[in-house]
Structure 1
Amino acid sequence: MRIAVLRETAPGETRVALTPETAKKFIALGAQVAVESGAGTAASITDAAYAEAGAEVGPAQKVVQGADILLAVQPPEPAALAGASPGALVAAVFDPFGRRDRVDAYAAAGFEALAMEFMPRITRAQSMDVLSSQSNLSGYKAVIAAADLYGRAFPMMMTAAGTVQAARVFVMGVGVAGLQAIATARRLGAQVSATDVRSATKEQIQSLGAKPVFVEKVAGIEGEGAGGYATEMSPEYQKAQAELVSGHIAKQDIVITTALIPGRAAPRLITGAQIATMKPGSVIFDLAVAQGDGTGGNVEGSRADQVVEKHGVKIMGYANTPATLPADASALYARNLYNFLSAFWDKEQGKPVLDAEIGDAVRLTRGGQVVSERLKS
């Protein structure tokens, strides 16, 4: 069983799907591991470190030759995998809804594409969940980046020259990224509030020492929502939430938006009119900017990898937030992949044999066909 890892080629992608730590673990399972030279450079991993772990390091064509499994963060074009074994598994973040053409190309090439972002949110798959591990880092980085852009301190400071008031931070969307954003802002000494459409998150917000801000007169989602994700809300709820947000964000210094709906454009949470009510010098970080509709992500007018200023408010967001923390993001992502494949490793066959519950959930293509039910609906 040969496992191959190529250098990431997508613009701005600094992560790598394998670390020396996980290379050792795969080798211990009996696999051969091959890594393209320079694959880990952006994540501060040298070729020597891979070689020391027991991996073969070399040019892409040699690495791919005879590969049975290919690990990637963002999948390479199928043509780059020429020489891999027929029907080879490719585990990566495929963006199947946004890049359906790539899914079709993988089917035509005969590869078995496994979308790691389709990992079901069940107890036994928690250690395999790449969205959770990467979102944790994204929530942290959103606050750090916003704090850097903000022209004042976060914590209250009492000095002989006077008192500096604590920054007010408002987090919109309390999933994995939102919870980490709350925790990070609290650690920095900010006064934090947060909101979500799922009622179950109230206790989670309070447990982190933040103030929950919720629409009360219109029902949201009871419990956690389907698969742990929020779904699109009714027009009545959206109107009530907009009114609530308008009154609240006018008093905030920092706003972090994190709302995403799988398979759809990011919901608009903050409009230009609402931005105009905020104080000059305030900062908004749009974590969903990359999933926007062309006019912004969660925030009207946000642009990926740019600082946009409106009404004296600075709006920012990264196209690939985890990639701004390449070493840690790579370490967590690589462990997710190892946990996934090792959980199904059949010692007698010397390869992973996926079960129906998880295998069918993440599998996009097989036998030259697109087999994912989520892409057929």
Structure 2
Amino acid sequence: MKIAILREAAGESRVAAIPETVKKFIGLGASVAVEKGAGEGASLGDEAFAEAGAAIEDRAALVADADIILCISGPDALGQTKPGALLIGALDPVRRGEAVKVYAAAGLEALAMEWMPRITRAQSMDILSSQSNLAGYKAVVDAAATYGRAFPMMMTAAGTISPTRLFVMGVGVAGLQAIATGRRLGAQVSATDVRSATREQIQSLGAKPIFVDNVAGIEGEGTGGYAGETSDEYKAAQAELVSAHIAKQDIVITTALIPGRPAPRLVSDAQVATMRRGSVIVDLAADAGGNVEGCVPGETVERHGVTIIGARNLAQGLAADSSALFARNLYNFLAAFWDKDAGRPVLPDEDEIVKAIRLTKDGKVVNERLLVNA
């Protein structure tokens, strides 16, 4: 059983394995091969993988006889591969539908880790949570680097510097980490979400919850732990509340996403205009259309004197740590299904994890979410 680790395309600094997980895979009885230079962006040289027991190969030799291929982002093409080989990573199946068809035609069994169900036994396999955690942290760090003032209150002989006011919109994994990081840096933090269950989470981190009262939002969690759509009445009430609050903020971090749909618009251009010059907004939903009007994915723009950062893949800005977490997610998934007698992972068709993430099998696209949208 050969496990292959791909080198990612230009622009992606992470890698799907680290020496720690290489050793663990070998401990399961597998052999591991790593593409030359795969770990360079994450400060991992080929020698580190070789010392852990991996072979170092070029792409063609790597994938030709691989039983399992691990990646961060799904490649457009792999060349000659073994029929029935597993391709496992963040494959972006909705936006990369043609690539999924290529995987099926090649006889690969493609598994999209970002579609991991949010259930208890899958927590250690959840790449979205592990990467979002780091993205929430990096969003605040990037905002602090752009913002031209100090975060904590400082009392000096020359006078007092007021603390930065930071507002987090969307309290999922990234939002909670943004709250915690902002608090550590000394900011005065507030946060909001449409899910009433997050109020206690906000308070537990020492931040001020900003919620619409007397209008129903979403009680508890939406599908898969995400927020869902809200009523027009709630949207109007929330917009009014946010407008009054956002005008007083120095930094805004937006994180709201609805799976399979464009990101909800949380901040209008008119609301941006009410913020004081020099303020900063970091939009973590930029790739899905953005929570902020005027956001440009992958770019930093200025509107009304406010800097808007269209954040893309912030986790890769912490490549060493994000690679380590991603690699452990992949190992935890494979180890959970590893059959010691067979010397390979066995993926039952009716298992809820397998059904959720399996995209292709036996030359066909089999995932219900893709077939419904076909």
1:360 aligns with 2:359: no
Distance, in Å, in 1 between the alignment partners of 2:203 and 2:354 is 36
Q: How does 1:230-245 map to 2 (within 5 A)?
A: 230-245=227-242
Q: Which residue of 1 aligns with 2:207?
A: 210
Q: Which residue of 2 aligns with 1:2?
A: 2
Q: Which residue of 2 aligns with 1:301?
A: 294
Distance, in Å, in 1 between the alignment partners of 2:364 and 2:217 is 39
Cα offset, 1:133, TM superposition: 0.2
2:96 is matched by which residue type in structure 1?
Answer: R
Distance, in Å, in 1 between the alignment partners of 2:208 and 2:19 is 42
Q: Which runs of 5+ in 1 are unaligned?
A: none
Distance, in Å, in 2 between the alignment partners of 1:92 and 1:68 is 14
Q: Which residue of 1 aligns with 2:310?
A: 317
- After superposition, the CA RMSD in angstroms is 1.0
SS of corresponding position for 1:72: strand
Distance, in Å, in 2 between the alignment partners of 1:24 and 1:81 is 27
Distance, in Å, in 1 between the alignment partners of 2:221 and 2:74 is 31
Cα offset, 1:144, TM superposition: 0.2
Determine if contact 2:179/2:205 at 8 Å carries over to the other structure.
yes
SS of corresponding position for 1:133: helix
SS of corresponding position for 2:199: helix
Determine if contact 2:256/2:263 at 8 Å carries over to the other structure.
yes
Determine if contact 2:74/2:92 at 8 Å carries over to the other structure.
no
Q: Which residue of 2 aligns with 1:333?
A: 326
Give the TM-score normalised by the residue count of structure 1.
Answer: 0.96
Q: Per-residue displacement from partner, 1:182-223 (whole Å, max 9, x unpaired)?
A: 000000000000000100000000000000001113211111
Cα offset, 1:54, TM superposition: 0.2
SS of corresponding position for 1:73: strand
Higher deviation after alignment, 348-357 or 148-157? 348-357
1:342 aligns with 2:335: yes
Give the TM-score normalised by the residue count of structure 2.
Answer: 0.97
Determine if contact 1:15/1:43 at 8 Å carries over to the other structure.
yes
Distance, in Å, in 1 between the alignment partners of 2:125 and 2:258 is 20
Q: Which residue of 1 aligns with 2:133?
A: 136
Cα offset, 1:226, TM superposition: 1.9
Higher deviation after alignment, 222-231 or 283-292? 222-231
Q: How does 1:1-150 map to 2 (within 5 A)?
A: 1-9=1-9, 11-78=10-77, 80-82=78-80, 84-150=81-147
SS of corresponding position for 2:308: strand
Cα offset, 1:65, TM superposition: 2.0
Q: Which runs of 5+ in 2 are unaligned?
A: none
Q: Per-residue displacement from partner, 1:70-113 (whole Å, max 9, x unpaired)?
A: 000001123x241x210111011111112112112211221111
Distance, in Å, in 2 between the alignment partners of 1:226 and 1:207 is 24
1:4 is matched by which residue type in structure 2?
Answer: A
Give the ranges of 4+ consecutive aligned residues of structure 1 lying more than 4 Å apart after TM superposition.
none
Distance, in Å, in 1 between the alignment partners of 2:79 and 2:114 is 21
Distance, in Å, in 2 between the alignment partners of 1:191 and 1:300 is 25
1:20 is matched by which residue type in structure 2?
Answer: P
Distance, in Å, in 2 between the alignment partners of 1:103 and 1:174 is 32
Distance, in Å, in 1 between the alignment partners of 2:240 and 2:363 is 50
Identity of aligned residues (%): 68
Q: Per-residue displacement from partner, 1:37-68 (whole Å, max 9, x unpaired)?
A: 10000000010000000000021111112101
Higher deviation after alignment, 234-243 or 117-126? 234-243
Q: Which residue of 2 aligns with 1:201?
A: 198
1:374 aligns with 2:369: yes
Distance, in Å, in 1 between the alignment partners of 2:277 and 2:2 is 56
1:246 aligns with 2:243: yes
Distance, in Å, in 2 between the alignment partners of 1:81 and 1:128 is 28
